[in-house]
Amino acid sequence: MPSSTNSNFFIRVAASKDGQRWDTYVLNHPEATPYHLFAWNSAVTESYGHRCYYLYAEKNGLFAGVLPLVHIRLPGIVNELSSLPYCDVGNCLCDNEQIQDALLIEALKLQRMLQVKKMQLRGSLKKTELKDVFFHAEITGKVRMLLDLPPSSNELFSGFKSKLRSQIRKAEKNNITFCWSGLEELNKIYSVFSRNMHELGSPVHAENWFKNVLTHYSQRVKVGLAIFEEKPVGMGIILLGRHSVSIPWASTLRAYNHLGPNMLLYWNFLKFSADNGFNIFDFGRSTKDEGSYMFKKQWGAVSEPLTWYTNREVHESHVHVSRYSGMRELVSSMWRKIPLPVANSLGPHMRKYISL
């Protein structure tokens, strides 16, 4: 396990006992996201058994930087370090460039020790000579969609275009209702999510993954359901940082989309965020000008380039994922034809090794 010293600070791997100090640093860092919280470590470990190496720098007894890394390994197929998997951003947070370089050096040592082929850091890095030498920016073709929130939901709603306000009201007129949910209704939450993922042709996360996320994020997670005729037709999960809210998962049942459950879900998440003092709502990853991008843009979200970094060792062999788009569509088409119970059984065994 890496542990190094500098004349001014130490670099160590966080243990469970360090979780509270880790979160204190994260919650006070202006660039942090909810994914940086130690709960992500706990959920990954307990759900999928991946080894987490949460590096931190300590100076004068206080945290001065963090770099969470997860080792995803399937012998002969996958061997990578990710910061962080299953989300858009979760990269290095630090006090200054010196701390960042020290954390990156330790990460490179870890990569060599584990004989990892690829290390991917999702999020911005401070410009340093070490970063420029060992890491290169990937062209993801993706953006993050971020909305600056006003002090109240009334101000937010009044700032929407009339078409958007009418779409929200339409969902209510169609007798779609919204309610907050939680672990006690995990089966309802998962039934909507898994069915939607099957219709999209994508392997689904394990139900246990959501259980562990809800358990470990505790007061920093909220779950919403859209209900029609006493049946859940939409779900969404938001994670709460100190100043920002992220929505990693939202799904609706396709047969009910014409009723507008998605509009009601997002409006209630935004309403909660504005009324509870959050400054930013992170709608997550999108491809510019595609459907999800336009959906998020209508709420007023602004795009920010999504930069991911990989170590330069894999630069020459790196192939942009778009080359595999045809194969992905073929696999998705086949996956949709698998019966839902079978897909829900097989999917998590595949999904655990897909870091996206």
Which of 257, 278, 299 is a domain's end point? Answer: 278
Decide if 344 is inside a domain: no
Q: Do the domain assignments include residue 349?
A: no
Same domain, 111 and 176: no
Residue 121 maps to a domain: yes
Measured distance CA(239)–CA(250) in Å, rounded: 12
Looking at the structure, do residues 34 and 154 belong to the same domain, yes or no?
no
Rg from Cα positions in the chain? 21
Whether residue 124 is found in the same domain as residue 242: no
Question: How is the beta sheet containing 244-252 ordered, strand by strand?
Answer: 177-181, 221-228, 231-240, 244-252, 280-287, 142-148, 302-305
How far apart are the C-alpha atoms of 268 and 224, rounded to whole Å?
8
Confirm whether 339 is domain-assigned.
Answer: no
Q: Confidence band (pLDDT; 50, 70, 90) for 333?
A: confident
> Residue for token digits 């039934």?
191
pTM confidence score: 0.93
Residue 106 lies in a domain: yes
Pair (11, 57) in one structural domain: yes
Residue type, 84: L
Indicate the pairing of strand 280-287 with strand 244-252. parallel
* Phi-psi domain of 242 (left: phi exceeds 0; alpha: psi -120 through 50; beta: other): alpha
Longest dimension (CA), the chain: 65
Residues 137 and 9 in one domain: yes
Residue bearing tokens 């920093």: 220
Range of the domain at 46: 4-141+307-314
Q: Are residues 241 and 215 in the same domain?
A: yes
Note whether 160 and 132 are same-domain residues.
no
Whether residue 313 is predicted with pLDDT greater than 50 in this model: the reply is yes
Quote the crossing angle between the two packed helices 186-200 and 207-217, to the nearest 10°. Answer: 130
215 is a domain residue: yes
122 in the same domain as 8: yes
One domain, residues 31 and 160: no
Quickly count: other Cβ atoms within 10 Å of residue 275's Cβ. 14
Confidence class for position 2, pLDDT limits 50, 70, 90: low
Are 191 and 231 members of one domain? yes
pLDDT, residue 322, reads 44
Dump pLDDT digits (tens) for 239-293.
999 999 999 999 999 999 999 999 999 999 999 999 999 999 999 999 998 999 9
Domain identity same for 120 and 159: no
Say how many domains are in the chain. Answer: 2
Residues 100 and 165 occupy one common structural domain: no
Give the CATH number for residue 94: 3.40.630.30
Note whether 80 and 51 are within 8 A (CB).
no
Alpha-carbon span 49 to 135, nearest angstrom: 27
Amino acid (1-letter code) at residue 48: Y
Q: Which run of H or E residues covers position 71?
A: strand 62-74
* 159-217 tens-digit pLDDT: 999 999 999 999 999 999 999 999 999 999 999 999 999 999 999 999 999 999 999 99
